[in-house]
Amino acid sequence: MFKVFWERFKHNKLALSGLIVILVLTIQACFAPFIAPYNPTEQNIANRLSPPSGKHFLGTDELGRDVFSRIVYGTRISLSVGFVAVGVAVLIGTLLGLWAGFFGGWVDNLIMRLVDIMLCFPTFFLILMVIAFLSPNIFNIMLVIGLTSWSGLTRLIRGECLSMREREFIQAARLAGLKNNRIIFVHLLPNVFTPILVFATLGIGSAILTESALSFLGLGVQPPTPSWGNILTAGKDYIHTAWWLSFFPGLAILITVLAYNLLGEGLRDILDPKMGDKNG
């Protein structure tokens, strides 16, 4: 099974490229103290707004901090937010989708009305509203992004379960007297793993963009903790004199989100070719 998957995956050049970039970013996040040449919060006013050079090859910011070191440490923040927020969204979305699709009736109606309510609100403005009532720290950001991102997965999982709950293997499990929870988690859940995996991969990129936007607006990760978004915030005031403050963190966000999108699209095409054909 894995051998067949790998044979298909390695021939998908875009997905393979995305995976390589993600592995590099993960290594960078894990070994940031060894990769970053400077302390990301260390200030050197005498060296402020220095352009890229041999000593600071991505330049320095308005407080003389090394931009490369801050971007390296910012990778930790972005990936942490992506993984935790998507983990929360996947947990909620999968459970609600499985229950709605399996039980149907009033359970389905209740869950789907909740999904409809969530979809009525623009997600980003809903996040802004919640963050306004909470202190803007990384843990609240992770939680809020996760709690506002599950509705699409719920609808997707529900649709898959509705098409499977009348199939022979589910009917056989019911006739065998298996409890509902065992049928849901042992028989249904493995059969909806593909959309969950694709959603999670694509969702990480979306969560990173959301965190960066919140940090850019000053509602995300707060200085001096380095985040790609708050590095961009500092850069906007020096866009004409210190272009590197905006260019390099923006490039990091672009490459990371693109890598996750390429990997997610590749996994969808490999694991569920019919979805790829429809989109093609």
**Whole-number Å distance between alpha carbons of 226 and 23:** 21
Contact predicate 270/15, CB 8 Å: yes
Angstrom distance (rounded) from CA 250 to CA 179: 51
50 within some domain: no
Model pLDDT, residue 274: 54
Flag whether 244 is in a domain.
yes
Residues 6 and 13 sit within 8 Å (Cβ to Cβ): no
Contacts of 269 (CB under 8 A, 6+ apart): 12, 15, 275, 276
Q: Is residue 14 part of a domain?
A: no
* Stretch (H or E) spanning 121: none
Structural domains counted in the chain = 1
Structure confidence by residue, pLDDT tens digits, 58-110:
888 888 898 999 999 999 888 898 899 999 999 999 999 999 988 888 888 99
pLDDT of the residue at 57: 86
Answer whether residue 138 is part of any domain: yes
Evaluate whether residue 276 is within a structural domain. no
- In a domain, residue 83? The reply is yes
- Is 3 a domain residue? no
DSSP assignment of 49-99: TPPS-SSSTT-B-TTS-BHHHHHHHHHHHHHHHHHHHHHHHHHHHHHHHHH
Give 267-275's long-range contacts (Cβ < 8 A, gap of 24+): 267/15, 267/194, 267/197, 267/198, 267/201, 268/194, 268/198, 269/12, 269/15, 270/5, 270/8, 270/9, 270/12, 270/15, 271/5, 271/194, 271/197, 271/198, 272/194, 272/195, 272/198
Calpha distance 60→39 (Å, rounded)? 12
Average pLDDT, the chain: 85
Q: What is the pLDDT of residues 206-223, one digit of tens each?
A: 888 888 888 888 777 777
Contact 146, 82 (CB under 8 A): no
pLDDT at residue 96, rounded to an integer: 93
* Percent of the chain predicted with pLDDT > 70: 96
User: How far apart, in whole angstroms, are the C-alpha atoms of residue 100 and residue 159?
Assistant: 9
Residue 168 domain-assigned? yes
CA distance 102 to 158: 8
Single pTM value for the model: 0.86
Task: Read off the amino acid at residue 115.
Answer: V
Q: Report whether pLDDT(279) > 70.
A: no
Q: What angle do CA 232, 237, 243 make, to 5 degrees?
A: 65
Q: Which domain, by its residues, includes 115? A: 30-37+55-261
**CATH assignment of the domain containing 245:** 1.10.3720.10
Q: Provide the terminal-to-terminal Cα distance of the chain, rounded to the nearest Å.
A: 25
ω into 224 cis (within 30 of 0)? yes
